[in-house]
Amino acid sequence: MAELLRTERLAKSFRGLVANQDIDFTLAAGSMRCIIGPNGAGKTTFISMVSGHQRPSAGEIWFKGERITERSVVRRARMGIVRKFQTPMVFDNLSVFENMEIAVLGAKGPAAARRGRIGEVLDLVRMAEIADAPVKNLSHGQKQWLEIGLLIANDAELLLLDEPTAGMTAEETHATGALIRRLIRDLGLSAIIIEHDIAFIRDLHAPVTVLHLGRILVEGTFDEIAGDTQVRDVYLGEA
Amino acid sequence: MSLSRAAGGGRSTPSLGAVVVSENGAAVLTFAVLAGLPLVASDYAVFILPQYMLYGVLAMSLGLFWGFAGILSFGQAAFFALGAYTMGLAMHGGGVAGVIDGAYLGLFLAALGAGALAAAVGYFLFSAGIRDTYFVIITIALSIIAEQLAITQSQITGGGNGMFIDRMMLNLGPLGSFSLEGDAAMYYFVLPIAGLVYLALRRLVGTKFGKVLVGIRENEDRVISLGLDASLYKTAAFALSGALAGFAGALYATHASFIAPSLGGVLFSTEVVVWVAIGGRTSLLGALLGGIVVASLSNYLSAITPEYWQLVLGLLFVAVIVYFKGGVAGALAAMLKARRGRAGEHG
Amino acid sequence: MALGVAADATILTLILALAALGLAVIYGLIGVINLGHGAMLTIGAYVTWACTGAGIPFAAAVVLAGLGVGLVGFALEHLVIRHFYDQPFETLLITWGFFLVTTEVIKIIFGPTLHPVTSPLPAALDLGIITLPAYRVLVAGVAVVLLGGVAALLYRTDLGIRIRAVIQNREVASLLGVDIGAMYKMVFVAGCCLAGIAGALLSPILSVGPYMGNIYLVRSFFVVIVGGIGQILGGTLVGSFLIGGSETIFALLFSQVFAQTIVFALAILILRFRPFGVLTRR
């Protein structure tokens, strides 16, 4: 499979505090990766460097063969790197439909095509019936799904999902996993997912990268990671 | 099916659907009243109203930027004054060898100059990610600079003594030349212009550009993370609002026949903010009427009791900010929404 | 000659620092964009004029001005501002409304004309090489004392620690038992008092009029922003020095009004390239 994303010796420090160091990470197109690790391991900082919200202190990032280390958030989003934040970032004072209207504005093509796209996405995230609902009235889980909907509105390639199931019920979590798998399988998207919910990660059947103290500790399948003594020590040690 | 309802609507904000329909009605009513007013109003009213309509255009320029992009500018007066002085200079200059009328040249240069200045300042600031609150302070400084430049560069502007400008001629080429010296002539020249500006802005906010501005107002970071260059859109919106303000200023100059540096200063910029705040910042009609009505009231009541009216206006301003963020237009819309029951229904 | 210019510039810098200090405290510590700062200076000046007119000695009048503006600030904070701490735009507009209302009230009570306040120290200070206006030297001295006092309070006292804790992290501070509301109120009122004192001290230098304090409004903001928000002592001094100093220099070359234009333009440039102020390392 073609390589979609690659980082080389990626590092980030904030005034002496090392958030990430020596991150060599690759992701193939059309695949998923879960990133786990105790709090402060550098997961969100890593995602921020991929999305462009943080500039790396050292290292390089390649996306589809192009060096994007210095590119702005806007340009990366246009290339297809889209991000879901830890606290849902949607347009709270507008309706679901209005949210999608803004999201599809980045797409090329006539207005009719954009309207069609809104319908498709709303169907995918199962919000077609509540299109006119004000976002304020949505549940936390629904807001997260709306945010995912915003991300896939135009030609997304790499989804960066920061704790997509935080605050969700078990049922919502399960549905989110199904949604993500569908997006990967049917739309050919790729995803990097930061998560804490072990059951969710297991159900995704995706490879896992474990971060600890800013570095990659170990990578492998879920079963390999679950059985890894180093990982267990890190998690138990942190508790 | 909700999709067809959503897809069929050309409105930008279904939750404001009730407002849009009634705004359409209110707009028609407003312009109908304005069109018929000279038949019943006093001579003075017919004389002075074009000025207030131009204030309304100035207010709409702020309404576009503040109401839709969500960024407050205390600098609209600077662009207004720039347009006014440009018009004055162009008309004194007499145009270009009989080919281009001085007045038309003035109108064109006023809009272009003010728009270009706004674009330059906007790009300079927004591309650096200047926060909206800093932007407000900077626009206050810009107004102060504009007023001071108008005072100090007296060889160009006449300084504190101001500048006198003739009424322009409406030169329609083969259709002939019309004098605008008459009050009614000027009135019916300015009114359609105000109407056209209103219509054009209404259409604009329904386009992609308008929707991106709303997105920027609601959550700029999200807009950027979706691949839309927010700072370019903000610059464009600021440039447009500057050009509009300059254009209104140019027309004002030829109507009022006299302009002075205070036209570009902070106090006048404040008035514009007060008009839009009271009229309603998210409604273009609210901004327009805010400009026309509050300015007329100010003129009328100031003659009677200047300090008390300004005091009332100040208190009203604070009350609007604290309790009625949407101004009069917003309050009316809320009342209508409450009366129609749930928001988003066909209305 | 050069010494005279340097002394003038220093005095003007310190006077500007004094005028900006109240805003540095309010904007710098609790993030309130107080567009009513100029009005507060004006109120302080009017209180001083009214008091000295009634025979009260100047020093007492200054104190009364500080207390008076503090009281006004207390009312404003308690009735309105405290509900809007998390909405900077609304606060900005409300404080601007405060300026509009206050200016009109002043015009109604005192009329729109300018009133002179006699200087309590009209003499000149003869230091041999140069002579300086004694009163301005006094004001500059008071500026140094107040700046030092505020800095000492913030960095050397328990109260200061608590205030800085609240600013750094409201949640943690409240968990530790600090009364956030009271802290904010205290800081706001303190900033107002400082503005009142500044306005009072400025009244013999400028003519007391309804818009008197507004000359220092935009300047004070630039001082605080250029110096670095939150850097009460160093920032205010550096900002005042840059803004005030450059204005003095340009005023020698051009007119006073044009000098201000240039300085504002420069401040905007600095802001654009160093939005966190010249002192903050980013």
Mind telling me how many Å the CA of B344 is from chain A's nearest CA?
7
State the pLDDT at residue B173. Answer: 66
Q: Residue A12 phi/psi, 5° resolution?
A: -150, 130
Q: State which amino acid sits at residue B125.
A: L
SS3 A82: strand
Q: Please choose, from the candidates C161, C164, C187, the residue with its C-alpha nearest in 3D space to the C-alpha of residue C82.
A: C187
**Which residues face A33 on adjacent strands?**
A192
Read off the tokens for A71: 């590119």
pLDDT at C226 > cutoff 80: yes
Out of B125, B134, B317, the one facing C225 most closely (by C-beta) is B134
- Please report the beta strands in chain A, taking only residues with DSSP state E, as ranges in sequence order: 3-14, 17-28, 32-36, 58-63, 66-67, 81-84, 158-162, 190-194, 208-212, 215-220
Over range A205-220, report the average pLDDT: 90
pLDDT band at A61 (very low <50, low <70, confident <90, very high): very high
Which domains are present in chain A? Answer: 3-87+152-238 (3.40.50.300)
In this complex, do B2 and A128 lie within 8 Å of one another by their Cβ atoms?
yes
- Please report the beta strands in chain B, taking only residues with DSSP state E, as ranges in sequence order: 163-164, 169-171, 177-179, 258-259
State the pLDDT at residue A45. Answer: 93
Residue C128 vs residue B285, higher pLDDT: B285
Distance CA B52, CA B49 (A): 5
Mind telling me how many Å the CA of B306 is from chain C's nearest CA?
9
Q: Do A163 and A141 meet the contact criterion of CB atoms below 8 Å apart? A: no
CA B92 and chain centroid, separation: 26
Best mutation site among C93, C105, C250 for testing chain B: the one with the most B CBs within 10 Å? C93
Mind telling me how many Å the CA of B222 is from chain A's nearest CA?
6
In this complex, do C107 and B307 lie within 8 Å of one another by their Cβ atoms?
yes
Q: Please choose, from the candidates C11, C238, C26, C281, the residue with its C-alpha nearest in 3D space to the C-alpha of residue C140.
A: C11
pLDDT at B140 > cutoff 70: yes
Mind telling me how many Å the CA of A75 is from chain B's nearest CA?
6
State the pLDDT at residue B289. Answer: 93
Percent of chain A with pLDDT over 90: 51
Residue B196 vs residue A108, higher pLDDT: B196
Question: A40-43, long-range: CB within 8 Å, 24+ apart, which pairs?
Answer: A40/A213, A41/A211, A41/A212, A41/A213, A41/A214, A42/A12, A42/A211, A42/A213, A42/A214, A42/A215, A43/A162, A43/A194, A43/A211
Q: Please choose, from the candidates C77, C42, C56, the residue with its C-alpha nearest in 3D space to the C-alpha of residue C190.
A: C77
Q: Please choose, from the candidates B162, B136, B157, B160, the residue with its C-alpha nearest in 3D space to the C-alpha of residue B270.
A: B136
The residue of chain B with its CA nearest to that of A53 is B225
Q: Residue B199 phi/psi, 5° resolution?
A: -60, -45
* Architecture of the structural domain at B13-339: Orthogonal Bundle (1.10)
pLDDT tens digits along A192-209: 999 988 889 988 889 999
State the pLDDT at residue B98. Answer: 60
| A115 contact residues in B (CB cutoff 8 A) | 7
Full-model pTM: 0.89
- Strand A58-63: give its sheet, edge to edge: A17-28, A3-14, A58-63, A66-67
pLDDT at B273 > cutoff 60: yes
Distance CA C1, CA C20 (A): 28
pLDDT tens digits along C64-74: 999 999 999 99
Query: Count of H helices and E strands in chain B?
Result: 15, 4
State the pLDDT at residue B20. Answer: 55
Best mutation site among C271, C273, C274, C276 for testing chain B: the one with the most B CBs within 10 Å? C271
Residue B73 vs residue C117, higher pLDDT: B73
Q: Give the pairing of strands B258-259 and A208-212.
A: unpaired
Q: Is A161 on the interface with B (CB under 8 A)?
A: no
In this complex, do C260 and B138 lie within 8 Å of one another by their Cβ atoms?
no
In this complex, do B311 and C261 lie within 8 Å of one another by their Cβ atoms?
no
Mean pLDDT value across chain A: 89
| A153 contact residues in B (CB cutoff 8 A) | 226
- Which residues fall within 8 angstroms of residue A237, CB to CB, at 6 or more apart? none
Q: Which of A101-115, A125-139, B106-120 has the lowest mean pLDDT?
A: A101-115
**Which residues face B164 on adjacent strands?**
B258
Read off the tokens for B112: 């272009």
Out of C33, C83, C272, the one facing B130 most closely (by C-beta) is C272
User: What ipTM is given for this predicted complex?
Assistant: 0.90
Q: Residue A8 phi/psi, 5° resolution?
A: -125, 120
In this complex, do A134 and B212 lie within 8 Å of one another by their Cβ atoms?
no
Out of B136, B144, B322, the one facing C94 most closely (by C-beta) is B322
Q: Is C98 on the interface with B (CB under 8 A)?
A: yes
pLDDT band at C229 (very low <50, low <70, confident <90, very high): confident
Read off the tokens for A74: 């806007």
Angle at alpha carbon of residue B315, lines to B314 and B321, rounded to 5°: 95
Q: Which of B204-213, B322-331, C126-135 has the highest mean pLDDT?
A: B204-213
In this complex, do A132 and B344 lie within 8 Å of one another by their Cβ atoms?
yes
In A58-77, the residues whose Cβ lies within 8 Å of chain B are 73-75, 77
